[in-house]
Amino acid sequence: MKQLAELVIPAKSAVLVVDVQNDYCEPEGALGKAGLPTGAAMAMIPTLQAFLTAARAAGTPVIFIQTNHTPETDSAVWSWRNGGISSAVCRKNTWGSEFTGVAPLPDEPVVVKHRYSAFINTRLDSVLRTLKVENLIMTGVSTNVCVESTARHGYMLDYHIVFLSDCTAAYSIEEHEGALYNMRTHFGVVAASHDVTAVWSFDSGSLREPALRI
């Protein structure tokens, strides 16, 4: 049984920030205007901001995942969900596709995706292998769609998964909790952000090591 500390070693880990974008999070974004409640996403962002500050201080790489949709990626199957019409969500070069509340630093990679999983037809795996990453610390929205899809895919590619319960958000508590259940039961460990930052603090000289194990 691995301790959490083994799964968040900065030299072997990366934080993935999935789809924290205006259309997914802001009330005036495409999903908010369509009637989906974005309150949980907006409420999660300050916790994510604090966590990213801690990750950067610990030397843990941060990788931003950004959804961009364009006519050439709107396949017939993808558009079928919207009655054959291209979705208005996260169109390339629009306000809706921009990050909200958080943003990559100049030296932090941004991986553009066109599907739920950030591994599908992207450079994410190459970036992670180049950085010698073994463990993925998952954050972002929505918990049960793009974050979960990316985490599942990462697990299938032999990455350890640490899924942060308070740095992810969905459009209902049922969807959020269901995804957390799937993660802890089948794909990795679910932790709160303070569990991870406590490990990093311990590595920097704190007297207490978190007791969480998987």
Least confident of 12-21, 26-35, 68-77: 68-77
Identify the pLDDT of residue 65.
98
Assign residue 188 the CATH number of its domain: 3.40.50.850
Residue 73 within a domain:
no
Domain hosting 13: range is: 4-21+37-67+109-203
What is the tens place of the pLDDT at every residue in 156-195? 999 999 999 999 999 999 999 999 999 999 999 999 999 9
Q: How confident is the model at residue 202 (pLDDT cuts 50, 70, 90)?
A: confident
| Predicted model pTM | 0.92
Other residues' Cβ atoms within 10 Å of the Cβ of residue 208: 8
User: In terms of DSSP H, where are the helices of 71-192?
Assistant: 76-80, 124-130, 148-156, 173-182
What is the tens place of the pLDDT at every residue in 90-100? 999 999 999 99
Is pLDDT above 70 for 211? no
Q: Is 25 annotated as catalytic?
A: no
Residue 60 within a domain:
yes
The set of residues, in sequence order, having a beta carbon less than 8 Å from that of 116 and lying 6+ positions away, is 145, 146, 149, 150
Three-state secondary structure call for residue 55: helix
Residue 188 within a domain:
yes
Contact assessment for residue 17 and residue 63, using Cβ atoms and an 8 Å cutoff: yes
Is pLDDT above 60 for 205? no
Q: Is 12 annotated as catalytic?
A: no
CA-wise closest residue to 66 among 111, 2, 121, 4: 111
User: In terms of DSSP H, where are the helices of 98-208?
Assistant: 124-130, 148-156, 173-182, 193-203
Residue 178 within a domain:
yes
Identify the pLDDT of residue 84.
62
Tell me the CA distances in angstroms from 95 to 18, 20, 118, one per residue in order.
Answer: 17, 13, 21
Q: How confident is the model at residue 85 (pLDDT cuts 50, 70, 90)?
A: low
Residue 214 within a domain:
no
C-alpha 180/C-alpha 22 separation (Å) is 24
Phi, psi of 14 (to 5 degrees): -145, 145
Residue 153 within a domain:
yes
Q: Is 113 annotated as catalytic?
A: yes
Selected catalytic residue, list 25, 90, 146, 167? 146
Task: State mean pLDDT over 105-119.
Answer: 97
| Token pair for 75 | 């396949």
Identify the pLDDT of residue 69.
94
Identify the pLDDT of residue 209.
42
End-to-end CA distance of the chain: 6
Residue 135 within a domain:
yes
Looking at the structure of the chain, the number of domains it has is: 1
In the block, tokens 């406590």 appear at 198
Selected catalytic residue, list 23, 25, 90, 113? 113
Least confident of 41-45, 138-142, 198-202: 198-202
Contact assessment for residue 133 and residue 9, using Cβ atoms and an 8 Å cutoff: no
